Amino acid sequence: MDTVPLVGRIACGEPITAEENLEGYVSVPSAWRATFTLECEGDSMEPTIHDGDLVAIRKDVRIENGQIAAVRIGDEATLKHLYLHDDYIELRPENPTYASIIRRKEEMNDVSIEGKAVGLCRGL
């Protein structure tokens, strides 16, 4: 097991203001090679990720289309399936009641990928 920081919350719904504040530390499997964890808020990634789950993120890795990523849009952050296209970025929720977030042209400059979701911690 590795101990990594819990650095705040991330939206699983509409993006929320990204505030990275150290809230404590979490033990996660070493095989995940996680950099930090975030607490999820919302239901846009259900049924896989639920409100209150902790998601482990690995920074600085290649993210393939369709994988789940922590993404910053300006000062806001969200957790979505990421699809990179030549002329736009799509952040797709898993829950079909939510619409994708699409950024085209200059809007793409506000998007930064914080890392790939590599693990999930949930209480019973």
Contacts of 55 (CB under 8 A, 6+ apart): 10, 37, 38, 40, 49, 68, 70, 79, 117, 119, 120, 121
Nearest to 59 by CA among 46, 72, 75, 41: 72
The verdict on whether 80 is a catalytic residue reads yes
Tell me the Cα Rg of the chain: 14
User: What pLDDT digit, counting tens, does each position of 54-72 carry?
Assistant: 999 999 778 999 999 999 9
User: What pLDDT digit, counting tens, does each position of 1-51 carry?
Assistant: 999 999 888 888 766 666 667 889 999 999 999 999 999 999 999 999 999
Q: Among residues 27, 30, 44, 105, which one is catalytic?
A: 44
Q: Tell me the domains of the chain and their CATH numbers.
A: 2-121 (2.10.109.10)
Indicate the Cα dihedral angle 75, 79, 80, 82, nearest 10°.
Answer: 70
pLDDT category at 97 given cuts 50, 70, 90 is: very high
Q: Among residues 30, 59, 80, 116, which one is catalytic?
A: 80
